[in-house]
């Protein structure tokens, strides 16, 4: 019989899950970035990893990369610059000859799109949020899909990070519709790239304490309530459970999964009323 101790002491990642797989991970800024946990977990699972960053964030990403083992190279890629995305694809081909998987961990909305500005944010700001946070998934997929192995050779996998866009949240404002668009882009990419054997999925993470989260007004209240109300509880300082789910989706274990939004949120999304209501 399997005791609680057996379950909780199980290793978080199977060592060979991504053995020899070539992975491109966007979005590492600080060691608290969700992408950092993903890159770290992917390396532990045997993958070769390349990171991307952009503009002034490059220095910070390179500093964070030095905490990974082995230290991965960081390529410059602003996801709104198709030329830079194409250059990264060319560099990946030059180094590795192909690519097995990529992680889209990029999001941004101008300040006036968040924190109560839903009715007043101008289209110019909303357009930036949509381009960086949703359209860029298509840009990335279009440039990287040709690098992925043929269907018969196992195909490839793309994974994006979302914040459950099925409902409206306090203060998240235009990032909500941007994430809804991202989730739809994931489904359309799954449709168009599936015949090539490329799987496209998203992970809907619960609130995690990162730089991006700091820019969301009211984040602290949300994460505190999440910890109280998620059936499994929620540790907002630990991106490990999200990284493990991303690894699963990148791996052959998820070979028949595509167009999916996998919630990694302590079970919060499944409840119609908070824990404790009605007792």
Ligand X SMILES: NC(=O)c1ccc[n+]([C@@H]2O[C@H](COP(=O)([O-])OP(=O)(O)OC[C@H]3O[C@@H](n4cnc5c(N)ncnc54)[C@H](O)[C@@H]3O)[C@@H](O)[C@H]2O)c1
End-to-end CA distance of the chain: 32
Q: Is 243 in the site for ligand X (CB under 6 A)?
A: no
Annotated active-site residue in 135, 179, 214, 268 = 179
User: With contact defined as beta carbons under 8 Å apart, do 61 and 74 qualify?
Assistant: yes
| Measured distance CA(24)–CA(157) in Å, rounded | 11
The interface with ligand X within residues 69-108 (CB under 6 A) comprises 78-80, 105-108
* Beta carbons within 8 Å of 52's beta carbon, 6+ residues apart: 24, 25, 26, 27, 74, 75, 76, 77, 88
Q: Is 205 in the site for ligand X (CB under 6 A)?
A: yes
Q: Is 50 in the site for ligand X (CB under 6 A)?
A: no
Q: How far is the CB of 37 from ligand X (least distance, A)?
A: 8
Q: How far is the CB of 110 from ligand X (least distance, A)?
A: 11
Q: Is 189 in the site for ligand X (CB under 6 A)?
A: no
Q: How far is the CB of 199 from ligand X (least distance, A)?
A: 19
Per CB under 6 A, the list member of 212, 243, 246, 254 interacting with ligand X is 212
Per CB under 6 A, the list member of 21, 24, 49, 54 interacting with ligand X is 54
The interface with ligand X within residues 8-37 (CB under 6 A) comprises 27-30, 33-35
DSSP character string of 102-171: EEE------GGGSSS-TTT--HHHHHHHHIIIIIHHHHHHHHHGGGSPPGGGT-EEEEEEE--TTS--TT
Per the annotation, the verdict on 188 as an active-site residue is no
Q: Is 275 in the site for ligand X (CB under 6 A)?
A: no
| Measured distance CA(200)–CA(159) in Å, rounded | 6
The interface with ligand X within residues 99-158 (CB under 6 A) comprises 105-108, 132
Per the annotation, the verdict on 108 as an active-site residue is no
| Measured distance CA(165)–CA(15) in Å, rounded | 33
Q: Tell me which residues touch ligand X (CB under 6 A).
A: 27-30, 33-35, 53-54, 57, 78-80, 105-108, 132, 161-163, 205, 207-208, 210-213
């Amino acid at each position: 019989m399997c005791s609680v101790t057996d379950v909780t002491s199980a290793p978080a990642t199977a060592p060979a899950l991504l053995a020899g797989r070539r992975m491109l991970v966007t979005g590492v800024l600080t060691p608290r970035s969700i992408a950092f946990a993903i890159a770290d977990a992917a390396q532990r699972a045997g993958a070769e990893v390349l990171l991307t960053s952009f503009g002034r964030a490059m220095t910070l990403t390179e500093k964070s990369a030095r905490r990974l083992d082995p230290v991965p190279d960081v390529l410059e890629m602003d996801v709104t610059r198709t030329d830079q995305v194409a250059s990264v694809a060319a560099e990946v081909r030059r180094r590795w000859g192909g690519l097995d998987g990529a992680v889209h961990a990029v999001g941004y909305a101008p300040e006036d799109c968040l924190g109560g500005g839903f009715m007043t944010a101008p289209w110019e700001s909303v357009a930036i949020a949509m381009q960086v946070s949703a359209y860029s998934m298509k840009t990335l997929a279009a440039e990287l899909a040709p690098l992925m192995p043929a269907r018969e050779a196992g195909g490839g996998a793309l994974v994006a990070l979302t914040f459950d866009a099925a409902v409206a949240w306090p203060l998240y404002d235009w990032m909500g519709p941007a994430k809804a668009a991202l989730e739809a882009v994931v489904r359309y990419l799954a449709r168009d790239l599936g015949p090539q054997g490329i799987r496209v999925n998203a992970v809907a993470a619960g609130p995690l304490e990162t730089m991006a989260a700091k820019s969301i007004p009211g984040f602290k209240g949300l994460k505190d309530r999440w910890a109280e109300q998620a059936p499994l509880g929620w540790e907002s300082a630990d991106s490990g459970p999200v990284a493990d789910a991303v690894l699963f989706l990148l791996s052959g274990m998820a070979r028949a999964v595509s167009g999916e939004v996998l919630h990694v949120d302590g079970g919060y999304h499944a409840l119609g009323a908070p824990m404790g209501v009605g007792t």
